[in-house]
Amino acid sequence: MKNLRPLGTLLLALIFTTSVFAQQSKKRELLSFEAFEAKLNAAGKNAQILDARLPEEYVQNHLEGAVSFSIADKTDFEKQSAKLSKEKPVFIYSIGNGRSGVLAADLRAAGFKDVTEIPGGLSKWIGLGRPVISTTGKGLSRDEYTASLKSDKLVLVDFGSRYCPGCKRLDPTIDSIKTEQAANVKVIKIEAYENKSLVKELGVVGLPTLILYKNNEVVWQKKGGASKAEIEKALKGQTL
pLDDT at 239: 76
Q: For 39-60, what is the mean pLDDT?
A: 97
Q: What percent of the chain has a predicted confidence (pLDDT) above 90?
A: 84
> Is position 22 within any domain?
no
68, 96 contact by CB (below 8 A): no
Q: Are residues 190 and 217 in the same domain?
A: yes
Give the strand order in the sheet containing 90-93. 67-68, 48-51, 90-93, 115-117
Query: Could you tell me which residue, 66 or 18, shows the higher pLDDT?
Result: 66
118, 100 contact by CB (below 8 A): yes
Residue of 154, 64, 54, 61 lying closest to 99 (CA atoms):
54
pLDDT at 94: 97
Q: Are residues 70 and 154 in the same domain?
A: no
Q: What percent of the chain has a predicted confidence (pLDDT) above 70?
A: 88
Q: Are residues 102 and 177 in the same domain?
A: no
Q: Which of 134, 157, 187 is the C-terminal boundary of a domain?
A: 134
91, 118 contact by CB (below 8 A): yes
Residue 142 annotated as catalytic: no
pLDDT at 240: 62
Name the strand (E) or helix (H) holding 51. strand 48-51
Residue 167 annotated as catalytic: yes
Q: Which of 134, 154, 189 is the C-terminal boundary of a domain?
A: 134
Indicate which residue of 122, 155, 167, 198 is catalytic: 167
Query: Could you tell me which residue, 16 or 35, shows the higher pLDDT?
Result: 35
* Least confident interval from 38-47, 65-74, 175-184, 203-212: 65-74
CA–CA gap between residue 234 and residue 184 (Å, rounded): 13
Q: Which of 134, 167, 189 is the C-terminal boundary of a domain?
A: 134
Indicate which residue of 164, 170, 198, 202 is catalytic: 164
Q: Are residues 44 and 124 in the same domain?
A: yes
pLDDT (tens digit per residue) in 103-123? 999 999 999 999 999 999 999
> Is position 160 within any domain?
yes
pLDDT at 72: 83
Q: Are residues 97 and 57 in the same domain?
A: yes
Q: Are residues 74 and 171 in the same domain?
A: no
Question: Confidence band (pLDDT; 50, 70, 90) for 200?
Answer: very high
Q: Are residues 151 and 234 in the same domain?
A: yes
Query: What count of other Cβ atoms lies within 10 Å of the Cβ of residue 199?
Result: 24
Question: Confidence band (pLDDT; 50, 70, 90) for 29?
Answer: confident
- The answer, yes or no, to whether residue 24 has pLDDT greater than 60, is no
> Is position 12 within any domain?
no
Q: Are residues 130 and 149 in the same domain?
A: no
- The answer, yes or no, to whether residue 141 has pLDDT greater than 60, is yes
> Is position 199 within any domain?
yes
> Is position 19 within any domain?
no
Q: Are residues 149 and 221 in the same domain?
A: yes
CA–CA gap between residue 3 and residue 8 (Å, rounded): 9
How many domains, in total, are found in the chain? 2
Chain mean pLDDT for the chain: 90
What are the backbone angles phi and psi of residue 121, rounded to the nearest 5°?
65, -165
Q: Are residues 206 and 175 in the same domain?
A: yes
Q: Are residues 98 and 121 in the same domain?
A: yes
Q: What is the CATH number of the domain that holds 117?
A: 3.40.250.10
- The answer, yes or no, to whether residue 25 has pLDDT greater than 90, is no
Q: What is the CATH number of the domain that holds 173?
A: 3.40.30.10
> Is position 162 within any domain?
yes
> Is position 42 within any domain?
yes
Parent domain of 196? 142-239
Q: For 143-154, what is the mean pLDDT?
A: 97
> Is position 190 within any domain?
yes
